[in-house]
Structure 1
Amino acid sequence: MSTQLRPDTDGLAAVVAQFRALPPEQDRAFEVQAAKIAEHADARLIHQLQQFLAGRLSLPDAPEDEDRIRFCAYFVIATYARRMKEPVWYDALRPYRPEFRSRVLFDHVDSLMLKSQRQWLPSLEAAERALDKLPDHVGVLHNFAEAVVLAKENGCEVTEDQLERARAAVTRAISIEAYPKFYATYGRLEALLGHYDRAMDLVHRAIDEESSDKLDYPIRLADYQTHLTNIHLAKASNELETQLRETQRQLAAAREEFDQVNARVNQSIDELKRESLQILGFFTAALSLTIGSIQILSKQSFADAAMLLILLGGVLLMVYGGFILTIGGLPNRRTPVWLSMGLGALLILVGLIVHHDV
């Protein structure tokens, strides 16, 4: 059952008064001022706002702007949960999403909450819907750029068009309002595009311009340092990959050159083997001719010896030529081989004619 405001709910009454003073939701000032309320809120006030949304705490009257006040409470709780990294509040807000779906800033807030819950693609889709509704809203512009960056960093499929739109969005946001976090997001985007030095300069600028008076300053500073570390790692990884590709290219070239040299060496060895066998065959034929000649001359008449020597010479020339062809004579050696075999055939023919005449 709803109860009236009691003395311990003065904080809620004061914040409701602040809600009523907020500008229209579509203005950037609404987001900035509502974020400041969240920035200075404590856990007790956030709990009271959640109780107000649940109907356990109510206003003393029924104002006409109660719907707007309820959305302001929803927005402040979501901002507090995101900035203070207390996701437990997202579960508390989930039942009220249908109630606020028609609000002009709903997709923007929804994208921010989904992003904090590491739901990268749903967050990006909500950010795109918000950008379609409020194309000149600085917070919407930046959130879209950051949603693209987070989706890309976490391995989701992001198109080149989305990257270019993100770059245009964050640069436009900075041109309207040079908020420190915008520079960090811009730097992360530049890192994704391979401009690492530019990226580090932008994140350093975010660190330099961030106010140390904010309650969440340590959290923001830690985030910036994490971004810097990631950019350094990405740069080192890119340089290592470049060196690895160059090394692989050089190894491939060296392997190809080695294969060519090895092929030439093997070819030279094969040629040397063939030439050695040819020389061996030649001397074998010469030795056979010499020994055969001595034996023939010692046992035959001159005419018979001459005829047999002619036949022996022809046969040896034929055998030598066939031997050379069998071991694979080189092309430039083929003509002498055929000449040798032709001469051998001629000698055999002459020997046979002489034998016939005798």
Structure 2
Amino acid sequence: MMRIDESSFITKLRDLLNEFNSNEGSKLDVLKRLNEFLESLGDLLVRETELILTKIVEYYLESNPEFVSTIEKILRSPEAKEVLSPDSRLKLLTLLHIYHRRLKNISYLSKITKEFEGEFSEHPFFQHLKVMTLKASDDENELREALRISYLLAKRVPNHAGILHNFAETVVILLEKGEKLDENYIEEAREALHKILIYNYPKFYATYGRFLALQGDFKRAKRMLLRAIDLEDPRKSDYVLRINDYVRLLTKIEFEENLRKYIHEIERKVDEFREELKEQMESERIKQAELLGLFATLISVVLANIFTIANSLDIATVLISNAFLISSVIIVLSGFHLLAGTKNEKPVKALLLLGVTLMSISLILSVIKRA
């Protein structure tokens, strides 16, 4: 099979298409030679054949779009259906698919996929093209169908890097849209990406970077995107568009990384606040228990003093009891304010000192009286 870096196959195809467009010679003869040429490119289920067709689009059809319509004409001509083998016709369809996919002509992709599905539906490579068509859609049902088909294809053709990447990227797209997938799909996609990185194809590294970002491994994700940028060929016509896509992905990954850090910091602060609030509530509970104890004591003192006053005709005893009662009330109330965290503590402390002084005087007088 011819080497991918040789331009002879591009020259050969160009000459054949030019000859088909001319009025000279037999079109059947041209189609026969075109069929031989297309079959010489190799089996479509071999990755190198897909790369050859991609090279034809990149270095020939994109700069000579008039030949795209020639390929369409050949595919739809009755003569071509008789002369070209199914494999050769599918290769021509693949050229059209690659060309319009690179231009993001999604509606055209959908159109030709439906048009030729009846003819090629059983061929695994056509299913591969169909997945890429469905994958370009934003419709959830079509993406789910792309996942179903690509998963089966990856099992059926496990050594085709393009088919494996198609499956892995479909998983990535669905995850990026927030869809919940079976863990088996995610692990299979991881294995597929590990397997195809050996081909050093830029898009594979970019997809792996997107996959790693979804797993929260932002450092490696950025490294994969930078590797994709490094591998891109600046000679390609869509080089700038591809680099812009990678830069956009890098920016998105940076944003998601910073957002996760911010959310993590917010969650940490919320946890700290929750813990502080819990401690404060526990402290308030203790304070309330202390206050209840103080009020219970105050009530006991008040009742005892009232009983003493009621059963005594001695003026001195009554005065001492009243002084003790008043000082008890002052001490308890000022203590309550201090425990409650009063902002201006100086008057409260002065009041507390007054209460302690009155209680001390009443106790001294009580002792003197008894003596």
Measured against the shorter chain, the TM-score band is 0.7 to 0.9
* Residue of 29, 44, 61 corresponding to 1:41: 61
Relative to 1, partners in 2 of residues 1:9 and 1:19: Cα closer, same or farther, differing over 3 Å? farther
* Closer/same/farther in 2, CA of residues 58 and 218 from structure 1, 3 Å limit: farther
State the partner residue of 1:98: 118
In structure 2, runs of 5+ residues without a counterpart are 1-18, 316-371
Aligned to 1:347: none
Alignment of 1:277-292 (within 5 A): 277-291=299-313
- Residue 179 of structure 2 corresponds to which residue in structure 1? 156
- Distance in structure 2 (CA, Å) of the matches to 1:217 and 1:89: 23
Cα distance in 1, alignment partners of residues 294 and 184 from structure 2: 65
> Where do 1:1-358 residues align within 5 Å?
5-7=20-22, 18-39=37-58, 40-42=60-62, 43-55=65-77, 58-59=79-80, 62-63=82-83, 65-93=84-112, 94-118=114-138, 119-175=142-198, 177-291=199-313
Cα distance, 1:281 vs. partner? 0.9
Matched to 1:137, the amino acid is H
Shift of the 84–104 alpha-carbon distance from structure 1 to 2, 3 Å rule, reads same
Partner SS for 1:215: coil
* Match of residue 354 from structure 2: none
TM-score by length of 1: 0.73
3-state SS, counterpart of residue 124 of structure 2: coil
Q: Is the 8 A contact 1:196 1:235 kept in 2?
A: yes
CA 1:9 to 1:17, structure 2 compared with 1: closer, same or farther past 3 Å? farther
CA contact (8 A) 1:81 1:88 kept: no
Amino acid at match of 2:124: V
Give RMSD over aligned pairs: 2.5
Matched residue of 1:105: which SS?
A: helix
CA gap 1:209/1:5 in 2 versus in 1, 3 angstroms: closer
1:192 and 1:24 map into 2 onto residues whose CA distance is 35
Which residue of 2 is the match for residue 355 of structure 1? none
Deviations 1:229-282 (A, max 9, x none): 221122112212211221221121112111111111222222211211111111
CA contact (8 A) 1:131 1:141 kept: yes
Question: How far is the alpha carbon of 1:52 from its aligned partner?
Answer: 3.1
> C-alpha displacement at 1:218, in angstroms?
1.8
The amino acid of 1:135's aligned partner reads: P
Kept in 1: contact 2:143–2:170 (CA 8 A):
yes
DSSP 3-state at the match of 1:109: helix
Match of 1:332 in 2: none
Q: 1:58 to 1:41 in 2, by over 3 A?
A: farther
Question: Structure 2 vs 1, CA of residues 95 and 285 (structure 1 numbering), >3 Å: closer, same or farther?
Answer: same
Rounded to whole Å, the distance in 2 between the matches of 1:197 and 1:6 is 53
- In structure 2, the residue corresponding to 1:89 is in which secondary structure? helix
- On the 8 A contact 1:50/1:92 being kept in 2, the answer is no
Q: Return the offset for 1:49.
A: 2.5
Partner residue in 2 for 1:342: none
Q: Distance in 2 between matches of 1:160 and 1:181?
A: 24
Please list every run of 5 or more consecutive structure 1 residues that lacks an aligned counterpart in the other structure.
295-358
2-structure distance, mates of 1:121, 1:52: 33
Percent identity, aligned pairs only, is 24
Q: Tell me the residue number matched to 1:303.
A: none
Question: Per the alignment, in what secondary structure is the counterpart of residue 159 of structure 2?
Answer: coil
Contact residue 121 and residue 156 of structure 1 kept, 8 A: no
Contact 2:35-2:85 at 8 Å conserved across structures: no
Structure 1's 134 and 7: CA in aligned 2 closer, same or farther, altered over 3 A?
same
Query: Are residues 171 and 253 of structure 1, via their aligned partners in 2, closer, same or farther at CA, if it must alter by over 3 Å?
Result: same
Aligned length: 285
Q: 1:18 to 1:277 in 2, by over 3 A?
A: farther
Change beyond 3 A, Cα 1:242–1:109: same
Residue by residue over 1:175-213, the C-alpha shift from the partner in whole angstroms, topping out at 9 and shown as x without a partner, is: 2x1111111111111111111001101110110111111
